[in-house]
Amino acid sequence: MKKVCYIMISALVTFLSGISEAETPMHQVVTDTIRDPSSQRDRLYIIRPDTGQEYPCVLFCPRFGSDNPADYRGLIEHIISKDVLVVYPVYEANAFTRRSIEVGPRTDAIFSLVARATKNLIDTTRIGFIGHSYGAGIIPAIATRLMDHTGWGSNGSFIYLMSPWYYPGTSLRTLENFPKSSNVIVQVFYDDNINDPRIGSYFFQMLKLPLNQKEFLVVPSPPNAIRYKSDFQVPLSADAFGGSDDILDTAAIYKVIDSVFAGVFDRKKSAHTFAFGTGSTRKIPLGNQGDTSFVMIATDNPRPYLSSRPYINSWISPRNPFVDVTKFRKARRMYVNFKRQKVSNLLAYSIDKTKQEPSSEEGDPDILDNPIDSGFGADGSYSVKADSIIDKRNNLSPAYFFRPDTTTTAKWPVVVLLHGYTGQDYTFFEPYISHLVSRGLAVLYPTYPKLPVVSSESRVDEKLTIIKAGIELLYERFGDNLDTTRVGIQGQSFGGGMVPAIGYYLLSQRGWGSNGAYLYMTAPWYCSGISSTQLASLPQHTKMITMIFDEDRINDHAIAVDIHNSIKLPSESKNYITLYSDSIDGMVMRSDHYVPYGTHYVYGQENYLDYYGVYRVGDALAAYIFNGSAEGKTVAFGDGKDGQLYMGKRIDNSPVRPARTTRNPVALHPQEDYFYPWDNLLNPRKRERSK
């Protein structure tokens, strides 16, 4: 498959959207899409000048979930404009995250495909590797294997890592035997709260390369900037959710990449010195000439310049191959053995058991077994039957239906589960979906596409329309299995922000939930698609839980507070719950934005925050609303009683940090701590409240 566009002298091209109009095109650019013959899935994009010449090659490894090059449109277009071919792999990122031992064979498979697909298209003697986050983390294993196996890069090679994640498949031996002719840039962003900069710093310092072949860059936020922030999203373009194209891209990334190309591929000494330095610490201006307040640190001693803050992916983690987690693993084995003696039968979580990953002796370090044997939070007795449907007439995203796998003709109470912005793959929520169904609930899982990115209120409304259409499609096909008089609407992050609008649509407009209805939001994004009047007019028998995670630094807690306070239900019909981080025998349970996700998602865990927090509260809510359970009412809406706040205990019987509940919430952290603060143009509630 090919798409053709133009590279302009003074403007960036749009290589994924057809032919761009230009007065003075330099040459055409072709985008080839290479598919895996066995699965017919897209595996590679090759973006190249269509001149018949051989060009140096950059293997561009994106963050987890960015399977479309449009997420990095600006950066990729800039690379191509320098007459460098870009290979963009679409890897199954979640497959890499669980077992580091699998990285070698998988990367061999991917890049044998690269070698075949790019034959006679590239100058294999000049090769670079550019990666962001997860992609940056897997590059060291990929680069060393590719160069060792093929001999590529004999006339120049480099690695450019931006905000790197952990390094699966990389060991100390890998670092000791790193290709001596390679050149390395590690770049971190000062206000990044996703990936701990010590991950990049350790890799950089352990590389046995001359100081003039490696450089560590620390990018600051512009002083007094309102829109621009030097965080995890900097390399992303405006097409990606949360991305932009601004001075941080052009001054801090493009300019460095230009000097890397010139210094490594063209052997220009001055350019090489600018990119990799000479062993001393420098300050590279990023703003106007003579502006000393906005400079990027370039150093071979990064430690003094690293920020210190809580990170979603912290240095101390069992996922980090360079951290001594011997005590952690020993504690985990002891814990697993204890659990095996205490509990003989636990329901398997996987929806499709044939696809379960093989267990290892130590188990997955991000999974704690569910210790709840009975009652709320425990798995039920039903297995899961899954169906999916796509409306080809309207080219909608897939909608999934999960129900108990029985022969009964009974109708099941309904939970509409709205996923986060990158949760199109239902396996990310597979453990929770399986749990809900095991307890006799039907789950509707309508999906919506990531693109076009939600850069305006109208884009958000488009996602809402797709969600509603998906629900209607599922009802049309599977309505005979649904008891729509008993309905719960639950959502996470972006989906959490959609819960009030979908709740209004189903409960007030469609008449669902007449015998029981609830709203359940976790870490909600901006509340969209619903007016203040509609928020205040939801059916009065509706019950509501808003749950936040103390260390969530993605969505401002003020968003959740506003939703809780603006939905005019009786005080006894709604509750606001906060979960906190803690540890179990060396395993850190992070109360961050990704609590409800399972371990199929790169940041997901499965632990007590799920079982005692999300699962247990949700079970109690459903039991109270659908079946009139008094115990369910106490757990979901009790006034801070022990049974409501309990989050489990350790082997030594010491309690895990309890939850906190309130009917009168306030935001406890400043909005500057969040990637999506309250004061954002995308927040319709801010605009409405300021009228």
List pLDDT tens digits, range 323-369.
765 555 555 545 555 544 444 343 344 444 433 433 333 456 678 88
Span 409-452, pLDDT tens digits: 889 999 999 999 988 889 899 999 999 999 999 999 999 988 88
- pTM of the predicted model as reported, rounded to 2 decimal places: 0.70
564 phi and psi angles, rounded to 5 deg: -60, -45
d(CA 623, CA 376): 9
**Closest C-alpha to 420, from 495, 515, 339:** 495
- Does 100 score more than 60 pLDDT? no
Asked if 645 and 658 count as a contact pair (C-beta separation under 8 A), the reply is yes
- Does 231 score more than 50 pLDDT? yes
Asked if 414 and 506 count as a contact pair (C-beta separation under 8 A), the reply is no
Average pLDDT over residues 553-577: 95
DSSP SS3 for 544: strand
90 phi and psi angles, rounded to 5 deg: -105, 90
d(CA 530, CA 460): 11
437 phi and psi angles, rounded to 5 deg: -70, -35
Which regions of 447-501 does DSSP assign to beta strands (E)? Answer: 482-492
Asked if 633 and 641 count as a contact pair (C-beta separation under 8 A), the reply is no
d(CA 534, CA 275): 56
Please state whether beta strands 55-61 and 85-89 pair in parallel, antiparallel, or not at all (unpaired): parallel
What pLDDT was estimated at residue 400? 95
- Does 565 score more than 50 pLDDT? yes
What pLDDT was estimated at residue 227? 65
- Calculate ∠ Cα 502-617-351, nearest 5°: 75
Span 20-35, pLDDT tens digits: 333 334 567 778 777 6
**Closest C-alpha to 607, from 431, 428, 367:** 367
339 phi and psi angles, rounded to 5 deg: -65, -40
Contacts of 215 (CB under 8 A, 6+ apart): 184, 185, 186, 275, 276, 277, 298, 299, 300
52 C-beta neighbours (distance < 10 Å), count:
7
486 C-beta neighbours (distance < 10 Å), count:
23
Average pLDDT over residues 454-462: 89
Q: What is the 3-state secondary structure (H, E, C) of 279-336?
A: CCCEEEECCCCCCCCCEEEEECCCHHHCCCCCCCECCCCCCCCCCCCHHHHHHHHHHH
- For the chain, the structural domain boundaries read 2-305, 392-689
326 phi and psi angles, rounded to 5 deg: -55, -45
What pLDDT was estimated at residue 21? 33
- Classify domain 392-689 by CATH architecture: 3-Layer(aba) Sandwich (3.40)
**Closest C-alpha to 614, from 500, 492, 464, 454:** 492
Count of positions (residues) in the chain: 691
Element (H, E) at 521: strand 517-522
250 phi and psi angles, rounded to 5 deg: -70, -45
511 C-beta neighbours (distance < 10 Å), count:
11
d(CA 417, CA 492): 8
Q: How far is CA 14 from CA 28, 214, 258, in A?
A: 12, 33, 20
What sign does the CA torsion over 671, 236, 423, 352 have? Answer: negative
What pLDDT was estimated at residue 102? 47
The neighbouring-strand residues paired with 490 are: 417, 520
pLDDT-wise least confident of 53-62, 325-334, 431-440, 472-481: 325-334
d(CA 312, CA 601): 13
d(CA 38, CA 210): 44
Asked if 56 and 264 count as a contact pair (C-beta separation under 8 A), the reply is no
- Does 617 score more than 60 pLDDT? yes
Contacts of 341 (CB under 8 A, 6+ apart): none
Please state whether beta strands 384-389 and 399-404 pair in parallel, antiparallel, or not at all (unpaired): antiparallel
Query: What is the residue-averaged pLDDT of the chain?
Result: 83
pLDDT-wise least confident of 77-81, 168-172, 489-493, 621-625: 168-172
Q: What is the 3-state secondary structure (H, E, C) of 359-398?
A: CCCCCCCCECCCCCCCCCCCCCCCCEEEEEECCCCCCCCC
Q: Report the CATH superfamily, name and number, of domain 2-305.
A: Alpha/Beta hydrolase fold, catalytic domain (3.40.50.1820)
Share of the chain above pLDDT 70, in %: 82
Asked if 678 and 686 count as a contact pair (C-beta separation under 8 A), the reply is yes
What pLDDT was estimated at residue 335? 52
Q: Which of 543-552, 584-593, 677-686 has the highest mean pLDDT?
A: 543-552
User: Could you identify the residue written with the tokens 């590239």?
Assistant: 122
What pLDDT was estimated at residue 357? 39
d(CA 48, CA 683): 39
- Calculate ∠ Cα 395-64-93, nearest 5°: 90
